[in-house]
Structure 1
Amino acid sequence: MNSLIDLHTHSTASDGTLTPTELLSLAKEQHLKAIALTDHDTTAGLEEAEQAAIKNHIELVPGIEFSSTWNGSSVHIVGLDFNWKDAGFQETLAKFQSSRTRRNIKMIALLQKEGFHISMESVQNAFPNSTCTRANLARFLVDNGEIPSIREAFDRYLGDHAKCYVPREEVTPAQTIDLIHQCGGIAVFAHPVLCRFSMPRLEELILELKKSNLDALEVFYSTYTHSDQTSMARLAEKYQLKSSGGSDFHGSNKPLIHLGTGKGNLKIPYTVLESLRS
């Protein structure tokens, strides 16, 4: 029996293009044993995903991907296997989401100054059940003929340090790790390579996260080279952290990234999840 998994995926509850139900159906087609739904700063898709997982006989790992800030840089922490229905967790999450909304309003105002026909209301109408991210803003501009591609939207306007970029109000990695642990979950440093840090700076961050009781590094990831994966595995071993991994699937918002297999280079065995839980 195939026992491959994917512990990093997104749905229409944030900036993916498949509903949670469609995502679980695709997971069945891909013969995955388990997947984690890790939408950005929201658990809104998990209830639907739970029902779809039962229907498709796939194990669903409750998940979330938190955006946080460390020394002015964006750091993402994935939470896995936590009690997402906990009232205290949802109360804190609502505060994080308010911060994201304020940021979106500021970025939309900058896009309007650039001459784009976009408003918070129109974006919300286009993505009515989503926690909107920069990817949603980019998708809106593309779908409405304002700009040719999502890549150009990020390169020119919405990417880090581009002209319409607005940094997040600071939530620290330590805060997100603590919140995940309060609900019995597993905290994973998502795609460390994408931080583009020098190795000494990356190790400084990992050491700090380790002091905050980080559980794992994302050792397996769609865009990693073989060298990247080897480096992340060595860091996990050096700092006595477990390994996690996933595709970071977003549907057509990242068309080259496929569920379970990434760019064709991913094969994450179920034993990775068992190790995370042990």
Structure 2
Amino acid sequence: MLNAERFRGGADLHTHSTVSDGTESPAELIASAAAAGLSALALTDHDSTAGWEEAGAAAIEHGIVLIPGMELSTRVSFASVHMLGYLIDPFDEGLLAETARIREARLTRAEEIVRRISADYDLSWDDVLAQTAEGATIGRPHIADALVARGLADTRSAAFAGILHWRRGYASPHYAPDPLTGIRTIRAAGGVPVLAHPGTRGAEDVIPESRLKALVDAGLFGIEIDHPENREESKGPLRALAAKYGLAITGSSDYHGDGKPNRLGEYTTSPEVVAEIIAQGTGSAPIG
């Protein structure tokens, strides 16, 4: 097993490549991580493990450790809840069935959003495909990039604050399992589940303790608290809940290349927590 000392240079446990909505290929992402001085990186594309092989080869080349992962979409009513799963078995039948259903729903949702937008703006589905890498999990960020390319927004962030904001009426939900099912699916695939960035809406919307306890009972390992989009007033209550329920605290950048202002390694996870993730994960192994 890898020693915790191996990660003293920093481990960023939440990043995206062109396999989902990042702007760098898996190999380019690993090269960027090495250039940033990181010891380890988790590739966590949305509902896909398709970037693992390329990223693994690059990790060996650059001398850093790849923690194979995924950001699994889950949902509570109309609220999206993301679940990070580390060291899952990419061939687990339950996981494959769930992610295939999610990706198909994402595609259908994206097509519906573009159809609605095209009634008011000069935007087509071909515009979106032009911004999407082959085989990628298509989502709203690709629509945002198409809006930028069409001159309808200045940046991806501006597109989300403007035309793609839910108040504009173009948004459409997509299927995703509930968080309990997400955690059980990750655990059944030998993975280690971490609740992603739960403090983005402020202290008033920190996850209710009763709901968190249910997630813990289902097998939740940790909470991603050190994250650039978690509000500072949320972090204290989240740390208190983590301490009460014995949950690990992770840190990461949620790096998307040029798709977000987040910087690689701006938040990292302690070597001890990384070592415990590796100890618990049985579906796959670190690479590098």
TM (norm. structure 1) is 0.90
Q: What is the Cα deviation at residue 116 of structure 1?
A: 2.7
Contact 2:198 2:224 in 1 (8 A): yes
Using a 3 Å threshold, how does the CA distance of structure 1 residues 170 and 127 change in structure 2: closer, same or farther? Answer: closer
Using a 3 Å threshold, how does the CA distance of structure 1 residues 52 and 108 change in structure 2: closer, same or farther? Answer: same
Residue aligning to 1:149: 155
Contact 1:178 1:212 in 2 (8 A): yes
Residue aligning to 2:40: 34
Q: Partners of 2:62 and 2:208 in 1: how far apart?
A: 39
Q: What is the Cα deviation at residue 165 of structure 1?
A: 0.8
**What letter is aligned with 1:127?**
T
Contact 1:4 1:260 in 2 (8 A): yes
19-28 or 191-200, which deviates more:
191-200
Q: Which runs of 5+ in 1 are unaligned?
A: none
Residue aligning to 1:269: 270
**What letter is aligned with 1:260?**
G
The question of 1:260 aligning with 2:265 is answered: yes
Contact 1:74 1:195 in 2 (8 A): no
The question of 1:135 aligning with 2:141 is answered: yes
The question of 1:217 aligning with 2:218 is answered: no
CA RMSD of aligned residues (A): 2.1
Q: What is the Cα deviation at residue 88 of structure 1?
A: 4.3
Q: Partners of 2:176 and 2:268 in 1: how far apart?
A: 35
Residue aligning to 2:282: none
**What letter is aligned with 1:89?**
L
* Corresponding pairs, count: 272
Any idea what SS the aligned residue of 2:116 has?
helix
Any idea what SS the aligned residue of 1:191 has?
coil
**What letter is aligned with 1:86?**
D
Q: What is the Cα deviation at residue 225 of structure 1?
A: 5.2
Contact 2:76 2:178 in 1 (8 A): yes
Q: Partners of 2:215 and 2:164 in 1: how far apart?
A: 28
2:131 counterpart (126, 136, 142): 126
Residue aligning to 1:234: 240
2:114 counterpart (87, 108, 132): 108
For residues 141-176 of structure 1, give each alpha carbon's deviation from its aligned partner in whole angstroms, at most 9, with x where no partner exists. Answer: 102223233233212322344321111224211221
Contact 2:192 2:221 in 1 (8 A): yes
**What letter is aligned with 1:136?**
H
Q: What is the Cα deviation at residue 271 of structure 1?
A: 1.9
Using a 3 Å threshold, how does the CA distance of structure 1 residues 276 and 33 change in structure 2: closer, same or farther? Answer: same
Residue aligning to 1:74: 80
Q: Partners of 2:162 and 2:260 in 1: how far apart?
A: 18
Q: Partners of 1:12 and 1:221 in 2: how far apart?
A: 21
Q: Determine what percentage of the aligned residue pairs are the same residue.
A: 32
Q: Partners of 1:98 and 1:223 in 2: how far apart?
A: 28
Residue aligning to 1:20: 26
TM (norm. structure 2) is 0.87
Any idea what SS the aligned residue of 1:65 has?
strand
Q: Which runs of 5+ in 2 are unaligned?
A: 1-5, 280-288
Q: Partners of 1:127 and 1:28 in 2: how far apart?
A: 25
- Which structure exhibits the higher relative contact order, with contacts defined as CA atoms closer than 8 Å and separated by 6 or more residues? 2
Q: Partners of 1:227 and 1:152 in 2: how far apart?
A: 25
Contact 1:3 1:269 in 2 (8 A): no
Q: What is the Cα deviation at residue 227 of structure 1?
A: 4.5
For residues 50-101 of structure 1, give each alpha carbon's deviation from its aligned partner in whole angstroms, at most 9, with x where no partner exists. Answer: 1111111111111111221113311111111111233443233212211111
